């Protein structure tokens, strides 16, 4: 529930007023979800720099790019990407390049990044080790849907717009709740959500929760925990009725290219980069899409990108 001004104590209102007076005005977001949240809060005009992966809303693509991946994934398949990333990590090398001179020139007073995943973005430790900036560093590390909502509120409070954060977080929760209400009394089909295909990774953090809210049973998912490697034999043994390829960082077309071996169920690929693997308010759209995939007669199609990889196989009678 969103709190209105009359619901807050005097101390809370004074704290919010003080936050507004000292709010940052120049933001570098090195985290795609952070960039999306800043924009959702109506603060996009304060962004002065982003990462190469920040692509939503579209206008942020015109901002200076402060960080980029050392692994060029554009021409690599999933197996090659996995091997290249593992090679960098084993060697103790950083996965991202920080353009320090550009960062110094942009002179941000706030840098948004994360420490949840070594593969997904620059860590706060790397940023704080730089001599080229003394900006405040905000690290976002949500593991659940509630923590995604808390991230929204944290950024909003930092930017001096706490009530806007309450509103954006509440809207996300309401939309997810509306979807969940449609399917809450239905049988939950067995589903495997793949965060990667070669090798396959089970879903983790908020993704199994998304599946449950969408009226499904994530057979191998790890709610609130990191995704882990599995095998397609283990997936087949779990007897899923639907496999959803939600490859981290890929849209549906790119994800569909990492086709798993034939399984005795329907397989689809979705735009994980926009609606699943990025902890931002758009996960509400991902929940709606999962609900439609699982319960098409009850949950409406939100019209998101989906690629049919394999039709369901009907056993002979």
Q: What is the pLDDT of residues 8-46, one digit of tens each?
A: 576 666 555 555 557 888 999 999 999 999 999 999 999
Q: What is the pLDDT of residue 185?
A: 94
Give the rounded percent of residues in the chain with a pLDDT score beyond 90: 71
* pLDDT for residue 1 is more than 50: no
Residue 193 sits at φ, ψ, to 5 deg, of -105, 120
Q: What is the pLDDT of residue 161?
A: 96
Mean pLDDT of 86-108: 83
* pLDDT for residue 106 is more than 50: yes
Q: What is the pLDDT of residue 313?
A: 58
pTM recorded for the entire structure? 0.88
**Domains of the chain listed by start with CATH number:** 5-168 (3.40.50.1980), 187-310 (3.40.50.1980)
């Amino acid at each position: 529930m969103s709190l209105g001004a009359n619901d807050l104590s005097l101390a809370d209102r004074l704290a919010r007023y003080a936050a507004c007076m000292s709010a940052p005005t120049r933001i570098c977001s090195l985290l795609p979800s952070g960039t999306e949240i800043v924009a959702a809060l109506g603060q996009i005009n304060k962004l002065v720099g982003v990462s190469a992966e920040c692509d939503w809303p579209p206008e942020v693509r015109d901002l200076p790019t402060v960080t980029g991946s050392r692994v060029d994934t554009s021409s690599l398949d999933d197996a090659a990407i996995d091997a290249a990333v593992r090679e960098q990590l084993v060697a103790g090398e950083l996965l991202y390049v920080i353009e320090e001179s550009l960062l110094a020139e942009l002179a941000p007073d706030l840098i948004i990044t994360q420490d949840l995943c070594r593969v997904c973005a620059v860590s706060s430790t790397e940023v704080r080790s730089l001599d080229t900036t003394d900006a405040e560093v905000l690290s976002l590390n949500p593991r659940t849907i509630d923590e995604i909502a808390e991230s929204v509120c944290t950024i909003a409070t930092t930017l001096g717009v706490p009530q806007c954060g309450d509103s954006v977080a509440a809207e996300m929760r309401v939309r997810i709740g509306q979807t969940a209400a449609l399917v809450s009394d239905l049988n939950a089909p067995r589903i495997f959500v793949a965060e990667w295909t070669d090798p396959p990774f089970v879903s983790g953090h908020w993704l199994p929760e998304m599946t449950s809210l969408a009226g499904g049973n994530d057979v191998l998912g790890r709610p609130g925990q990191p995704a882990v490697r599995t095998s397609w034999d283990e997936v087949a043994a779990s007897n899923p009725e639907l496999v959803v390829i939600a490859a981290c960082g890929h849209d549906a077309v790119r994800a569909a290219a990492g086709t798993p071996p034939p399984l005795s169920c329907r397989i689809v690929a979705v735009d994980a980069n926009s609606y699943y693997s990025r902890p931002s308010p758009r996960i509400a759209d991902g929940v709606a899409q999962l609900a439609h995939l699982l319960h098409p007669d009850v949950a409406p199609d939100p019209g998101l990108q989906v690629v049919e990889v394999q039709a369901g196989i009907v056993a002979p009678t």
